[in-house]
Amino acid sequence: MLYHLFTYLDKVFDFPGAGMFYFISFRTGLAFIFALLLSTMFGRKIINLLQKKQIGETIRDLGLEGQMSKKGTPTMGGIIIIIAIMVPTLLLAALNNVYIILMLITTLWLGIIGFLDDYIKVFRKNKEGLKGRFKIVGQIGLGLIVGLTMYLSPDIVIRENIEVKGETTRVEDVLYSKHDVKSTKTTIPFLKNNNLDYADAFKWAGEKAQDYGWILFVLIVIFIVTAVSNGANMTDGLDGLATGSSAIMGVTLGILAYVSGNVNYAGYLNIMYLPGTGELLIFAGAFIGATIGFLWYNAFPAQVFMGDTGSLTLGGIIAVFSIAIHKELLIPILCGVFLVENLSVMTQVGYFKYTKRRYGEGKRIFKMAPLHHHYQKQGNAGIQAFFQRPIQAMPESRIVIRFWIVGIILAAITIITLKIR
C-alpha cells in the first residue's frame, strides 16, 4: 500500500524521498525492521492474550528432561509470525505482483488450516486436532492453486540462459533470450545450463510433451507443499528449532530470489533469469524479521509455542517460495533438517510395524522420533533401538543450536551448488 502511495506521489507531485520506494533493497530493509518490531513489541501483547484465554500447550509425558515444565505454555503463537509477515508485505510490496499474491495466499491458507488444528486441540480438548485427511486436502488445494497459477499466469515467465563457449568449450559468457516464455524448466545443479525441463520426460509425446510436463510440474508442486509443510510441523518439537531453521532457509531463499531476478547475477551464476521475482525480496525480508523476532519469545526456555498455526505456515511458505523461483529441486538440500525429521518418523514407524509383524515384537531404529527427540534420550537405558548413541542425553538448547549449524551448512551448500558444473 505504501509502495503504491509513494510511487504515485513521486510520479504526480515529485514528492521528496518518495523515489526511495522504487528500490527493492530499501523496501526489503524496511520490511525486515518492521516485521522484527511487530513480532517483538506486539508479540508480548498477543502472548498475554493467549495466557488470559488459557490457550496453553497440552503435554504428553514422553519421559524427556524438562518436558513437563512446558505444560501450560501458550500455544498458537504462530499468529504472531503471520501478522508480522502479512503487515509489512501489504504495506511495502507491489500488490499487483503475482509472486507476492501467491505468497500472501499461501500464508493465509496454511495459517487458517493450522489455526483450525490448534483450535480443535485447545478449545475442543481433542488431542488429535484437525483430522489428517482435511489437512492433506488443504495442502493439495494450495498445491493446485500454486501449480495452476504458475501454468496459467502470463506474468510468470522465464528467460533461458544461453551459454557462449570459446574454442576450449569453456563458457565465456551467458546471454538471455529477448523474449519471455512460459516454461516447465527449473534450476538444478550438475546439468547443462543448470536447467531441467519436466517436459523432457515426455519427449515421446511430441507436441503434447509440454502439456504433460505441466501436469507433472503441478503434481510435484502438490508433493513439495505437502512434504515441506509437514516437515516443518515435525521439526517443531524443541524450543526455537523450527523457527531458527526457517529463518536460515528464509535468508537463503531471499538470496536466490535476488540473483534470479537480477539479470547480471543470474548471468554470473548461469541460471535462468526470472523477471518479477525480485519483488519476493520484500516478502523474504518480512519472513526473516518475523521468525527472528518470534525467537525472542520462542528460544529456550520458550514463553510461547507457534503451534500448527505457525509450523504449517512456515513450511508452506518455504515450499511455495522455492517453487516460485524455480528452485524446488534444491529443497532436499536447503530443507535437509525438515527432510531428515520427516524420514526419521517414516522409517521409525515403518520399521516398527515390519518387525512387529515378522517377529511379534516391534523394534525401533531411533530411541525416539522425530530425530531431535532421539538426542534427548539416554542410550542403553532399556530402549531397544538400532542407534543408541549418544549415550548421554543432550540438553535441549545444545540440540537446537547444532541443528541450526547443520541448517547453515546446508544453506551454504545450496547456494554454492549453483556454480557447480
Give the pLDDT of residue 199.
92
Q: Is residue 51 part of a domain?
A: yes
Give Cα 317 distance to the centre of its chain: 5
Q: Is residue 177 part of a domain?
A: no
pTM over 0.85: yes
State how far the Cα of 162 lies from the Cα of 204, in Å rounded to an integer: 25
Q: Is residue 84 part of a domain?
A: yes
Q: Is residue 123 part of a domain?
A: yes
Give the pLDDT of residue 412.
95
- My answer on whether 268 and 371 are in the same domain is no
- My answer on whether 244 and 328 are in the same domain is yes
- My answer on whether 350 and 283 are in the same domain is no
- My answer on whether 208 and 298 are in the same domain is yes
Q: 349 is in which domain, residue-wise?
A: 345-390
- My answer on whether 220 and 367 are in the same domain is no
- My answer on whether 278 and 364 are in the same domain is no
Q: At what angle do helices 209-235 and 132-152 cross, to 10 degrees?
A: 140
- My answer on whether 369 and 292 are in the same domain is no
Backbone angles phi, psi at 185, to 5 degrees: -80, 150
- My answer on whether 366 and 278 are in the same domain is no
Q: Is residue 398 part of a domain?
A: no
- My answer on whether 97 and 32 are in the same domain is yes
- My answer on whether 32 and 91 are in the same domain is yes
Q: Is residue 412 part of a domain?
A: no
State how far the Cα of 41 lies from the Cα of 342, in Å rounded to an integer: 34
- My answer on whether 57 and 155 are in the same domain is yes
- My answer on whether 143 and 48 are in the same domain is yes
Predicted confidence pLDDT, tens digits, the chain (421 residues) = 776 776 767 677 777 776 777 789 999 999 999 999 999 999 999 998 888 876 655 655 555 665 555 677 888 899 999 999 999 999 999 999 999 999 999 999 999 999 999 999 888 878 788 888 999 999 999 999 999 999 999 999 998 776 666 666 666 566 677 778 898 989 887 666 678 889 999 988 888 999 999 999 999 999 999 999 999 999 998 999 999 999 999 999 999 999 999 888 888 887 888 999 999 999 999 999 999 999 999 998 889 999 999 999 999 999 999 999 999 999 999 999 999 999 999 999 999 999 999 888 888 999 998 999 899 888 887 788 888 888 888 999 999 999 999 999 999 999 988 877 5
Q: Is residue 15 part of a domain?
A: no
Q: Is residue 105 part of a domain?
A: yes
* Count of domains for the chain: 2
Residue 31: CA count within 13 A, CB half-sphere: 33
